[in-house]
A and B are shown apart, each in its own frame.
Chain A
Amino acid sequence: MYAQLVDTGVQRVAALEELPPEERAFQERIDADVKIEPKDPMPEAYRRTLIRQISQHAHSEIVGMLPEGNWITRAPTLKRKAILIAKVQDEAGHGLYLYSAAETLGVSRDTMIDDLHTGKVKYSSIFNYPTLTWADVGAIGWLVDGAAIMNQIPICRCSYGPYARAMVRICKEESFHQRQGFDLMLALCRGTPEQKRMAQDALNRWWWPAVMMFGPPDAESVHSAQSMRWKIKLVSNDDLRQKFIDQTVPQAEYLGLTIPDPQLRWNEERGHYDIGPIDWDEFYNVIKGNGPCNRERLQARKTAWEEGAWVREAAAAHAEKQAARCAKAAA
């Protein structure tokens, strides 16, 4: 998802009786659905895993502004342009709520940003794909934000208070993102044959990356099991993916578009859609840095950070001077 393959640092999930007394007391609080707050005692592995997960989530929001920002100057109407600007601004906001949530765990903002720029911490695989046409803006809102909502709603109930609260704010805003995307696709599908072809082409390119976004099957993953035990992950990747597919296929039918999966079938017995095989080699390749846009995305972030340095320095110097003046006037 927005946080993929989060390492918990554990080799296996220990039974409650095996845990040292402090960790056992902590686990019992989690089991009793007590929220953990910044100053509460917590195991170091829980703290570190949360920093990884929340910062990865924050970086995804920030890098996620790039593919859509690409189309702001070329939006076809003023209405669409205003909507897109508002959406991209929301993504910036989501990144900032999440950085603040991570900072409550004792990591500085600059450290997190540095970890993104050096490649130590990743962002979601989905943002390494290009936005080639205007229809891609619709496909991202409809599919990528749709997938994000699916993942983020359970996190509103996660065990760490600041993360859960940030997620509540984000989910409230996210549903506008998905609807504007669907609305954009609908306008194209009701338009000229050429516009409809553009919508189909966008779906063809974004479908599989969106399906992969949930991450590989994690039923066997020790990290997922540990994260679920800590209640910082609440639903398995495959369950979320299935839910996303089940809800999206009828929407595609309404648009009159074809999902690019010849093996997609409704399975009466399971009450779910069956899908064809997912190309996990592609997923791992993108995660490793070899997707179509990895280098460009990271370079854009680094350039923005470096070129903004003089602004950060000037504002800090101004604030210092003003404070000194106030102190002098008061003396």
Chain B
Amino acid sequence: MKEWPLWEVFIRSQHGLAHKHVGSLHAADAEMAIKNARDLYTRRNEGVSIWVVKSADIAASSPGDKEALFDPANNKVYRHPTFYAVPEEVKHL
């Protein structure tokens, strides 16, 4: 028999925070994946909301693309507030 598909599990820990990836599990369908995620990843009040998505449906960047994707951000220091010298007399900036 074929294995049940693999699902990635995302949990939101409290209202106001984003869902965060916590791990994966096997389940026959989405409904079972949510039930299993409840038992597997929220046994100690870790969450108030669960997302599950089939692992096969996730598109991911590859390690080989790291430079092309992320290097351009490296030399744009002016995007950070610390790039700008603020005169000491000026407040609330």
Query: A-side interface residues toward B, CB under 8 Å?
Result: 37, 39-41, 86, 89-90, 93, 96-97, 100, 103, 108-110, 165-166, 169, 173, 309, 312-313, 315-316, 318-319, 322-323
Contacts and interface: CB of A to CB of B under 8 A. Distances in A.
Contacts of B26: 109
Interface of B: 1-4, 6, 22-26, 28-29, 32, 39-40, 43-44, 60, 62-63
Contacts of A37: 63
Nearest to B24: A100
Given A100-B6, A109-B3, A316-B2, 8 more contacts: A39-B60, A40-B63, A89-B43, A93-B39, A93-B40, A166-B23, A315-B32, A319-B28
B29 A110 contact: no
23 contacts: A37-B63, A41-B63, A90-B43, A93-B39, A93-B40, A93-B43, A96-B40, A97-B40, A100-B6, A100-B23, A103-B24, A169-B22, A312-B1, A312-B4, A315-B4, A315-B28, A315-B32, A316-B1, A316-B4, A318-B29, A319-B28, A319-B29, A322-B29
Contacts of A169: 22-23
A313 B24 contact: no
Contacts of A322: 29
A103 B6 contact: yes
A96 B63 contact: no
Contact of B63 (A39, A93, A315): A39
Contact of A309 (B1, B32, B39): B1
Nearest to B21: A165
Nearest to A162: B23
A109 B24 CA distance: 12
A323 B5 CA distance: 14
B29 to A, nearest CB: 4
